[in-house]
Structure 1
Amino acid sequence: MDFEKLNITGRKIIVGIDFGTTYSGVAWAETQRPDRRVAITVWPISKANPEGESSDKVPTKLRYNGNDLEWGFSVPVNAPSEEVIEWFKLDLDPSLQTMGTAVTSAATRGGRNVDKLVTDYISALGDHLMYTLREKLGEGVVKDTALEFVVTVPAIWSDLAKDKTRQACQRAAGLSATKSPIHLISEPEAAAIYALHGLDPHGLQVGDSFVICDAGGGTVDLISYTITNLKPILEVQEATPGTGALCGSTFLNMRFSKFLKAKLGKAEGFDDEVLADAMERFEKTVKRQFTLSARDDDTYTIPVGGLATNKELGISRGRYALKASDLRVIFEPVVQEVIKLVKDQITSSKVPIKAVLLVGGFGASNYLKERLRGSIDAAISIMQPPNAWLAVVQGAVMKGLAQNSPDTLTMVRVQNRKARKHYGTEWRVRYDEKTHGHLRHKKHWCGLDGCWKVYAMEWFIKRGDAVSENEPFFTNFVWTGPVTQGRIKKIKMDIYADRTVRDAPMARDENVAMLCHVEADVSHIPENLLQRRKGTDGQWYYELNCKIEAVYLSASTQYTLLYNGQRYNSVTAEYV
């Protein structure tokens, strides 16, 4: 469903879902009161206690305990590590390169299907959302009010991974029962909408450009925007296609875990439970306190209950003294990866960058901010918006609200985005020796037109082109088929993408990958409306002059077939 055509009448609840690698967040607002955005901050610790734990976000963890599904805070901290499934979001896009670490989440280890894990987790989130809405607004209001979901996805993900997320949400019990529309928005775009709104006054002027770096648990997503308008609505457009990598704070946790096992793994009494308690302290406290100004011999307390006092190992009364110098070694490779991404983004934007906005859980790290400060041009300011951990989910709600009531003046609008790759399709064209000489071996005879033809790419969008939600791209094409083979029931089209940094090639090669199959059902078009033409070979052929309309939204694409002046929304796109 298109963001542009949301219905504007009636009361509606907009729900933002930030399904994260390590933590997930949910926020909502009513269209009647768009200024009151509410993040869910109370989470279940058991079926009996749905309001047991206060936190801005909930851990993205699952455990299948007999017939019970434990999720978030209801997964016991001391549960055996092989039973706890985490980081499974990363399995949705196996094509991404990780930060020199093989992320085999428990999802893949347990042989469980990642689509099921995501569906089960989002179902649990949805159930808790409905419980919370009923508590806050009352049963009647929730029953009679339409819901709409805006789900965030990493910008660097493949279209397949984004589509899998949408499908998991459509299957998730709590969401599917409401039959509500589900929209996708890219995480850095959602973060930018919130950050610019939250940083007002941010000191940025029309024409200024900035980089937004959304550093989360698993992914770090970057994108640059140029401000095109400040009043009445803050409008921005992308300055360069987004970039990113898997180098979020999850990798700090992995490095800390590895460090601790190497240091204390041989000590008597060291087990999964000790490690789990230590990890929790690292995650909730140490990681967030660590700063660049820490002296090498400063120490941070890590609980290691049950381990005997051992001065040599640095253990005293069940506490391990973690040195700042060791923390630096744990942090540096991950931080350097983020710094490199930011520097590359600044260089590739080809416009002067005024500021870097750091958001996301890892984006709130003081150490990361200070290291970045020392690594980039001093004239570029570095900003951390308040409550950066909730930036993505809050931005998702704001996006949904803005699309429902376009006159909401507190919103940020993204006018244009930059295409991240070449998009196109492959058609038969008349063979021309001058143009297609290198494809000579692939030419074939066409009975309809009585000439040699060859398959060539038609690119409807090139990498770096400005794409807007308001301006669709059209591709004209002719669909032919011999009448003797029976009437045409389906028009099929393969969409290809080339994500390499090069000019779009004339013909398909090994770098041009299938993106999705688009299929339009034309069986309901009366036979007499299907155009025909007699070929040079004396045979009759169907010849349908069609158009495909493609609209590129924040994190998804919508295809519509146009034939004989009619729009056919029955186009299904299946991503590969």
Structure 2
Amino acid sequence: MSSSNDRVVIGLDYGTTYTGVAYCDSQGTVRDIQIVVDWPGQHAHNAVNEKVPSQVAYGQIDGSPYEWGAWGNIIPPNTPRQYWTKLKLDEKSKRPRELRMLLALLAGDIGAMNLDDNDGDDDGDGNDDGPPAYPGKEPVDIVADFLTGVKDHVWRHMGEELTKTLFESIQLDVVLTVPAVWSDKAKDLTFKAATKAGFVGSDKIVKMVTEPEAAAIYTLKTLKSGPGGDDIRIGDHFVLCDAGGGTVDLLSYKVQSVSPYFKVEEAAVGTGDKCGSTFINRDFRKWLREKLGPKTMELIPPEKLREGSRIIREFEAAKMSFSGDTMKAYLTIPREAKIDDDPSLGIEDGDMLITDKDLRELFDPWVNKTLQLIDDQAAAVYATGASVKYVFLVGGFGKSDYLYKKVQEYCTARGFEARRPPFPWSAVARGAVARGLEPASGGLVDVRRCRYHYGTPVSQPFNPTKHIAKDAYIDKLTGERLAKGQMRWLLSKGDALSASKPRRVAIECCRTFTPDEDRHFGAQIAYCMKDDAPSRFMDDDVIPLCTVKADLSDVPESKFMRARTRLGGEEYFVAEFKIELLVDNSRLKFFLVFDGEEYGSAVPNFDA
């Protein structure tokens, strides 16, 4: 990196299992971006160098001031540690069974993995969603402690590369990456953790970019500047497949602009599922259990089956070298198993043979699930009248040659082109830097797709062909037969949302009340993740989001419509108002508007 520049862009990809950091001077291009690879504590057998494990361990709890324990690769074996803390930053994404199982993978706890693959969320084992909390520390503090270790190492690394004096004098631009579906609250907690760690400060310019956007911009820029790059044209559609450790996430885009900067719009609502490479490790443990038998497996200490243990490291090496061709690898069985030689099982001198056939059986269920997700995204693009030109593959699972070969075969059969950029595992960190090298205004994605339906329940005139009997009731003032809890959707899943132009939508509602009744009104707001939105609020797929509360006590009675009951002729009032939704750069705000004035609002910790 040249020492003549006065600004350096740093990309921080804090991930659930691994974290990566990239950097480049302000005059560089995407091909000049560097990645931190000299993480402390790595050994010759550890092939992981583009990233560091997102883990932190503390000293003994004895009432003494905070004592730094260890982080990343330098945590000693069998030491209790905090991991997957990133998931705790986003409360709305609690998925008990999935999280318990993935945590069990890291811990090597076979019994907690629910090996029968039951789809139920509650497996009844009473396990918590994550590792034991460290007393006195919230998740944001644990993340901050981990990021402090990362920051200190990165600062030393860059100080050595630039010289300490020069590094301390230059402007730092830091770009943080966050999941696309995270709430504003989760983004804020990420920002706070980075601030406490020292990545954010008055002497630094800080930006935030979503992980898919970062991966997309890196891939586009890399391929555009390489052989065949001119093939990327305005109007092209591509599917970005971010195949990671725990999940595979997909988004489809349409290219709007190529020069001077890429601009894209989302072509379909993003999708994803739990089928990352961690699940291959889960199935490996099942395979090992079937080979050795339950009694032998019980002899092996749990720590000898955890992520980072010798047998898992050896399996990881075999997994990453597997391309589908003929191969053999040997795994060291923990000595506690006291296993005898067995040629039929490929066991000799404490080593077990694993072949390409074994690996194919472990890979294929998750590879096929990934291909199905790609196919679903392609179908969503076709539904808009367009066609897919490229499938871009990134992520930790994305660097698997076997997965890439299968994606290539899938694409060739359908007339697509499969592309994988250099360094697919660190594509997000590198893409964060690529975004930071561009002008401050704007971003890669100009048009996004609404990920959910948003609406409010209302009462409608009862129609026996449309409504169910148990929703029917008689309004005590109007005497009209109505159906309660019928959803009016303000915004639908898949609606186009401009990144630069706010969008405001509204529906008209009314409320009847007597002169003696309270004028505090409330409107329940709900959302639905399904493609087809239900018509009833009580449907299991309709999820309450927030409530808009309004006080119309000070509104003169002359502002309301007057009416009288059919029986008795008693006077009552009708308040006609609107429920409005403002979407500004994917952020949501709901309003209750009466007579052109806003009387109440609600801002959920949620993005459209």
For the criterion TM > 0.5, the same-fold answer is yes
1:369 to 390, 404, 416: 404
Distance between the aligned counterparts of 1:208 and 1:531, measured in 2?
58
Asked whether the 8 Å contact 1:364–1:389 carries over to 2, the reply is yes
Q: Which residue of 2 aligns with 1:3?
A: none
1:346 aligns with 2:378: yes
Which of 111, 136, 140 in structure 2 is aligned with 1:119? 140
Alignment match of 2:19 (pick from 8, 24, 28): 24
- Per the alignment, residue 213 of structure 2 pairs with 189
Structure 1 counterpart SS, 2:235: coil
CA 544–343 in structure 1, closer or farther in 2 if over 3 Å, else same = closer
User: Which has the higher mean CA deviation after the structures are superposed, 235-244 or 299-308?
Assistant: 299-308
Q: Which amino acid aligns with 1:353?
A: V
1:389 shift after superposition: 0.5
Match of 2:124 in 1: none
Q: Which residue of 505, 510, 514 maps to 2:539?
A: 510
Match of 1:496 in 2: 526
Deviation at 1:216, TM superposition (A): 0.2
Residue in structure 2 matching 1:469, options 496, 499, 507: 499
| Alignment partner of 1:151 out of 177, 186, 192 | 177
CA displacement at 1:417 relative to structure 2 = 2.2
> 2:453 & 2:417 partners in 1: Cα distance?
33
Q: d(CA) in 1 for partners of 2:449 and 2:364?
A: 32
The answer as to whether partners of 2:145 and 2:197 remain within 8 angstroms in 1 is no
Cα distance in 2 between the residues matched to 1:405 and 1:99: 37
TM-superposition CA deviations, 1:494-527 (whole Å, max 9, x none)? 332223232x44443414422521557x89x996
Deviations 1:471-516 (A, max 9, x none): 323233578788967886xx854332223232x4444341442252
> What secondary structure does 1:257 align onto?
helix
Cα offset for 1:56? Answer: 1.7
- 1:199 aligned counterpart, secondary structure: helix
User: Secondary structure, in 3 states, of the residue corresponding to 1:108?
Assistant: coil
Question: Does the alignment pair 1:204 with 2:228?
Answer: no
CA distance in 2 between partners of 1:173 and 1:87 (Å): 16
Q: 1:387 aligns with which of 423, 437, 443?
A: 423
1:399-418 to structure 2, matched below 5 A, reads 399=435, 402=438, 404-406=440-442, 413-418=444-449
Distance 1:256 1:144, change over 3 A: same
Q: Report what 1:240 is aligned to.
A: 268
What is the alpha-carbon distance in structure 2 between the residues aligned to residue 359 and residue 239 of structure 1? Answer: 19
CA offset at residue 239 of structure 1? 2.1
Return closer, same or farther for 1:281/1:147 CA change in 2, 3 Å cut-off.
same
CA distance in 2, matches of 1:15, 1:368: 30
Deviation at 1:218, TM superposition (A): 0.3
Q: Could you say which residue in structure 1 is the equivalent of 2:286?
A: 258
Distance 1:437-1:327 versus aligned 2 partners, 3 A rule: closer
Q: Secondary structure at the match of 2:275?
A: coil
**1:166 and 2:187 aligned:** yes
1:457 is the counterpart of 2:493? no
SS in 1 for 2:148: helix
Q: SS at the partner of 1:353?
A: coil
> Mapping of 1:225-304 within 5 angstroms?
225-264=253-292, 266=296, 270-272=300-302, 274-275=304-305, 276-283=309-316, 285-293=317-325, 295=326, 298-304=327-333
Q: Are the counterparts in 2 of residues 303 and 318 from structure 1 also a CA contact under 8 Å?
A: yes
Shift of 1:559: 1.9
- 2:312 partner letter: M
- The 3 A distance-change label for structure 1 pair 349 and 374 is same
The answer on whether the counterparts of 1:23 and 1:217 sit within 8 Å (CA) in structure 2 is: no
Structure 1 CA distance for aligned equivalents of residues 142 and 299 of structure 2: 33
Distance 1:103-1:375 versus aligned 2 partners, 3 A rule: farther
Cα gap change, 1:231/1:33 in structure 2, threshold over 3 Å: closer, same or farther?
closer
Asked if residue 73 in structure 1 is aligned to residue 73 in structure 2, the reply is yes
The residue identity in structure 2 corresponding to 1:234 is: F
In structure 2, do the counterparts of structure 1 residues 259 and 388 end up closer, same or farther at CA, with 3 Å as the change threshold? same
Query: How big is each residue's C-alpha offset from its partner over 1:179-214, in whole Å with a ceiling of 9 and x where there is no partner?
Result: 899976543333112111111153222222221111
Instruction: List alignment gaps of at least 5 residues for structure 2.
Output: 1-5, 62-67, 108-127, 565-570
Other structure's SS at 2:260 match: coil
The 10-residue stretch of structure 1 (162-171 or 462-471) with the greater mean CA deviation from structure 2: 162-171
Amino acid at match of 1:457: M
Q: Residue type matched to 1:337 in 2?
A: K
Deviation digits for residues 245-294 of structure 1 (CA, Å, limit 9, x no counterpart)? 100000111122332344347389854455411112222x222110112x
**Aligned with 1:222: secondary structure?**
strand
Aligned-partner Cα distance in 2 for 1:176–1:273: 30
Amino acid at match of 1:471: K
Q: Distance in 2 between matches of 1:115 and 1:547?
A: 42
Question: Which secondary structure state, in structure 1, belongs to the residue aligned with residue 487 of structure 2?
Answer: strand
1:324 maps to which residue? 356
Aligned length: 534
Structure 2: how far apart are the matches of 1:141 and 1:343? 47
Unpaired runs of 5+ residues, structure 1, are 1-10, 47-51, 407-411
Conservation of the 8 A alpha-carbon contact between 1:530 and 1:543: no
Counterpart code for 1:302: L
Computing the radius of gyration from Cα coordinates, the structure with the larger value is: 2
SS in 1 for 2:546: strand
Distance 1:278 1:444, change over 3 A: same
Q: CA deviation at 1:360?
A: 0.3
Go from structure 1 to structure 2 and tell me whether the alpha carbon gap of 1:252 and 1:437 turns closer, same or farther (over 3 Å shift).
Answer: closer
Query: CA 1:37/1:536 → structure 2, altered by over 3 Å: closer, same or farther?
Result: farther
Three-state SS of the structure 2 residue aligned to 1:197 is helix
Tell me the residue number matched to 1:8: none
Return the alpha-carbon distance in structure 2 between the equivalents of residues 559 and 31 of structure 1.
Answer: 36
| CA positional deviation for 1:354 | 1.7
Task: State the one-letter code of the partner of 1:324.
Answer: D
Distance in 2, matches of 1:385 and 1:25, equals: 17
Q: CA deviation at 1:341?
A: 1.5
Q: Is 1:536 matched up with 2:557? A: no
Distance 1:388 1:531, change over 3 A: farther
- Determine the C-alpha separation between the residues in 2 that align with 1:139 and 1:123: 26
Q: Distance in 2 between matches of 1:541 and 1:403?
A: 52
1:421 aligns with 2:456: no
Q: How many angstroms does 1:420 deviate by?
A: 2.9
Question: Match for 1:79: what amino acid?
Answer: N
The aligned runs of 1:125-144 (5 Å cut-off) are 125-132=146-153, 134-135=155-156, 136=158
For 1:75, give the aligned amino acid.
I
1:299-314 matches, within 5 Å, as 299-304=328-333, 306=335, 310=341, 312=343, 313-314=345-346
**SS of 1:375's equivalent?**
helix
- Aligned counterpart, 1:4: none
Amino acid at match of 2:282: M
* Percent identity between the two aligned chains: 27
Decide whether the 8 Å contact of 1:28 with 1:37 is kept in 2: yes
Shift of 1:223: 1.7
Q: Which residue of 2 aligns with 1:550?
A: 583
Deviation at 1:349, TM superposition (A): 1.8
Moved more, 417-426 or 88-97: 88-97
Partner of 1:415, secondary structure, is strand
Distance 2:102 2:279 in 1: 10
8 Å Cα contact 2:453/2:493 also seen in 1: yes
What SS is found at the alignment partner of 2:582?
Answer: strand
Using the size of structure 1 for normalisation, the TM-score is 0.75
When normalised by structure 2's length, the TM-score is 0.71
Corresponding residue number in structure 1 for 2:392:
357
Contact 1:546 1:562 in 2 (8 A): yes
